[in-house]
Each structure stands twice: as structure tokens, then as C-alpha cells.
Structure 1
Amino acid sequence: MDNIRNCKLCDKEDILQNSHIIPSSIIKSVKKGDSQLYTLSRCSSLRYENVDPKEYLLCRSCEQLLNRRYEKYGLELLKKSSNVTKHSNCIEFKNFKYQKWYLYYLSIIWRASISSLSDFEQVNLSNLNDVLKQCIKKNTLRVSSEIDIDEFIKITMFRVTDRSHRLDELTIRNILMNLTHVSVQDSNEHLFFFMSSGFLVQFRLTPFYIQLKDKTPFTRADMARNNQRFVRYLDIAESRFLTKEFNWLIDNV
């Protein structure tokens, strides 16, 4: 069989599954029971098509591991209203499990990075891919005795709003924005953005962090990790990235 290869996560030879790059639960939440959805990109006009990027990457055991360990929690966190307390400037997640939340989103950007699909050609973490893989496989943030992965890959989530009312709440929640790379001028950092269910997820990568840490010792404290349960409301106009993307979207739909 053509799909007998080494699994990208456990490295064992096995029959590979046609793995979702973006978790199927996210795709299903946007489709809302339909078999297709509307897509729009800078390379093509508005189309109604079946969008569910897959690739033979993982064995069945590793597929089930990702679903059981991370994806189930990631879905429940955003979908269960009982998990959320609304404040004036943010929402608060109850029973927030930082490590599960972090590794859930880390698994998404890792799959996108190792994918050969054109949908994810902007995402290339090169020599960091194996670091991400080990953390995901071992269910840990620890890279070595001296450093944790969330020290040099910071993940932050925002709840997107539009005070101009050009886009209503339902529209914002139904937008799925693929992983997008944004260069940071005059910086060694890289930014990636991903949006689903009304939440914008920002990945901030500092590849040379280890050298910086040698000069300025720092370890991410549990308090800083715990604060991630408070998700700030972000108006589209506050973000240059969102302003650019949504202006383009409105102009082209």
C-alpha cells in the first residue's frame, strides 16, 4: 500500500491515516452540517467547495492520541458556554488547563509546518519541527532541563469583536482564517495567526531565545501561564493584521 510509511509523530512504520491538518472539529463547526463552505483567497475568487485539508501524516494510534489528549479539550473549551465567564474587557475560562490548551494549538501549527500542502506553504518551522514533535508526543512543555517551549513560542488568544458593526457576531464566529505568517520588521521574531470560532490565536516565535536567555535568565512563571485563561476582547481596528485582512475580505465578498 502506498500509505505505509513512517508516522510523523511516533516515527514508526505503519499504515498512515489521511490526517486532518486543521482539527476536524474546527472544520465541522464552520460547515454547520453542510458538506461545503465558502472560501476566498488572494489567489482565487469566492468559491463554494469542500474544504478539509488532509495528508497522510499520522498512524491511527497517533491520530487517536491527538484527539483524546488535546483536541477534545480544545473543542470543549471554546464551545461550552458553561466554561466561560464574561467580563467587561475579557472572557475568563473556568477550569483552564494551560498545558492542554497550549499543546493543542502547538499541534495545529506543527501539522501545518510538516505538511506539503500548498494551503500551508507559509508555515515552515524547519529545525523547530522536531522540538514541537517531542513536546506533543511526550505531553510536556519541557524541552530541556533549562528551557520550556513556551519561553520561545508564545501562544496568545484573543476574542475578536467589531465595534464598527460592519461584521456581526455570528459572521465573526463563522470565519475560519488559515494559518498566516506575518514578518516582524527589524526583528528575529516570527508571527503566525490562526482564527476560528471568533478567537484569534497568535503564535510568536523567537528562534534565538536560547541565546537571549543566556544573557537574561528568565523562566515563564506559573502565574503568567495561568493568566492565559483571561482572553482579552480585541477589536478589529486595534490590530493591523486584522484590519488588513477584514478590509480585504469585505471588499471582495
Structure 2
Amino acid sequence: MAENIGVCKLCFESKELRKSHIIPRSYFKHAKSNGQLVWVNEGEELAKLTNSDPKERLLCQSCEQLLSQKYENYGTRIFLDRSKISRCKHDDNLLVFKDYDYLKVFLYLASILWRALVSNRYSNMDLGQFNEMLRQCILKGKICIKACLRLDHFLHIYVCKIRDKSGQITGEQMRRVILDLNVEETRHPGDGIIYYMMLHGFLIVYHCSAVNDIQEKNAKKGIGKLKKKGKMLIEIKDLTDFDVLVRVFNVAVSKRESLKEPK
């Protein structure tokens, strides 16, 4: 038992640490419900078939419960429950999140990034002082840092749904592929840094930067920024719109048997 005692990454108290999921367990559970999931790391030539999900001793039991109750219960419903997502009445290429709550969605997705940033598994993703800013916002359930300073001034999150319009990869097969969190260096140091991953058929992009023209840059990529007010519209984009995803699924189909539809 003593070897499991350590400082919790969220509350900073010395307690017994649990084996925490960095990417929420719900994504693995759904991906494995009809067979083994396909785990892909960008840049690697082989995909992995797995029934396990990466865990690390990061959080105490109280903080595990906090993340679960405040963020993951809601995030699971809005991203994994198909009844919570509908087609836009005015545009068949758009989806609408039902019961959309900007603060909850933002902090839910931010909490996944934060866990990666403070883990050993993603040691190349440390953002220094920004990690602490994220920690405090997640712990308090707020994005306001100071009177005129907010977390979403520095962290911009974009989401889109990926489909293969050629029909070679079905929606069910798409949902069974997880693209691990990756880093993309921007062209200029002042442009910040980009992280991206794919979960349950959603491409999720984080852009850490104080630059205010990021929305315009990413609009060209077809990625919808989380809206602060009103309905959240999610673009349905084709797999071939993103070179990185084409590479990912070329790797994934090397495990063709795993992508077969369940009988």
C-alpha cells in the first residue's frame, strides 16, 4: 500500500493514488463493446489491437470522483450517446449537440489534455506554467482566472465528426479506432502549439495560444470552435480532408480483421 502513496496531481495532497485513465475509460468501453479496439499512434507503422487502456497513478480517489462527477458523466453522455446528437435541420453536413453546456464541454475536454500534460506517458507535452492554470480551473470548475482573464483566451478547442464518404470505412468501424494524443508544431513560435486526437469518430483539436486569429486559421480546416452561447454545430468532414487521418486509417486497415463489422 505504501508504494501507492504520492502527491495527487490535482489537489496536491499526499494520498493513495489510483490508477487514473488519461483518456476516459468510457471511450475504450464503447470501442471494445463489439470487439477489440484499434489503437493508433501517429507516426508509427503498426496499429495495436488491445483490450486494455493506458492508466497511471495520477489522482487520489476524491479527485477521481470529482473528475467523474463534474466532467466525465456529462462528457460521456454528450459524445457517446447518439440520442444526444442530431442532424441539423437546415444543413445535412452539420450535427447538433443536445443539452450543450459550453463550460462543461470545455472543461471536460480540457481535463483530458491536462491529464496527459501531467502524466509520464506524454512527458514531451509539458506546458510548464500553463499546466497549473489548467489544474486550478479544473479543480474549481471555472474558466475565469482573473477579472479579465479566462482559460479560453489561451486554450482554443475545436471538434468535428469524421466520416468516410466513400463508404469503405463505416461509422461503427470509425468509432472503434482511437488516435492517441499527438503534438503538431506550428510554423512560427508565436502561433502556439497544437494537440489533437480522435475518439469515437470525433477529431478533437486543442490550440494553446493567446493569439486571437486562431479561429480564422482553423476555419479553413473545417474545424468548429466550441461556442460560448447558443447551439454547438459540429461539421461532418470527410476522412480525406485531413492527411493525418488518412495516414492513421491506412495504418488501422493493416489490422483489417479488427475493423470487420461484428456478426
| Partner in structure 2 of residue 230 of structure 1 | 233
What root-mean-square deviation, in Å, do the aligned CA atoms of Structure 1 and Structure 2 show? Answer: 2.3
Is residue 160–residue 235 contact of structure 1 (8 Å, CA) maintained in 2? yes
Partner SS for 2:111: helix
Distance in 1 of aligned mates of 2:48 and 2:143: 40
Q: Work out whether 1:110 is the aligned partner of 2:111.
A: no
Gaps of 5+ in 2: 213-225, 257-263
Specify the code of the residue in structure 1 equivalent to 2:204: V
What is the Cα deviation at residue 176 of structure 1? 0.9
What is the Cα deviation at residue 251 of structure 1? 6.0
Partner SS for 2:23: coil
Identity %: 30
Query: CA 1:185–1:197 in structure 2 vs 1: closer, same or farther (change >3 Å)?
Result: same
Query: CA 1:13–1:155 in structure 2 vs 1: closer, same or farther (change >3 Å)?
Result: same
Distance in 1 of aligned mates of 2:93 and 2:51: 36
Give TM-score, length-normalised by structure 2: 0.82
Is residue 40–residue 251 contact of structure 2 (8 Å, CA) maintained in 1? no
Gaps of 5+ in 1: 211-222
Is residue 98–residue 228 contact of structure 1 (8 Å, CA) maintained in 2? no
| Partner in structure 1 of residue 220 of structure 2 | none
What is the Cα deviation at residue 79 of structure 1? 2.6
Distance in 2 of aligned mates of 1:126 and 1:58: 19
What is the Cα deviation at residue 5 of structure 1? 1.4
Range with bigger deviation, 50-59 or 128-137: 50-59
What is the Cα deviation at residue 110 of structure 1? 0.4
What is the Cα deviation at residue 249 of structure 1? 3.6
Give TM-score, length-normalised by structure 1: 0.85
Partner SS for 1:125: coil
Q: Work out whether 1:194 is the aligned partner of 2:197.
A: yes
Larger RCO of the pair (alpha carbons < 8 Å, separation 6+): 2
| Partner in structure 2 of residue 83 of structure 1 | 84
The alignment covers a number of residue pairs equal to 237
Partner SS for 1:89: strand
Distance in 1 of aligned mates of 2:160 and 2:104: 17
Specify the code of the residue in structure 2 equivalent to 1:183: E
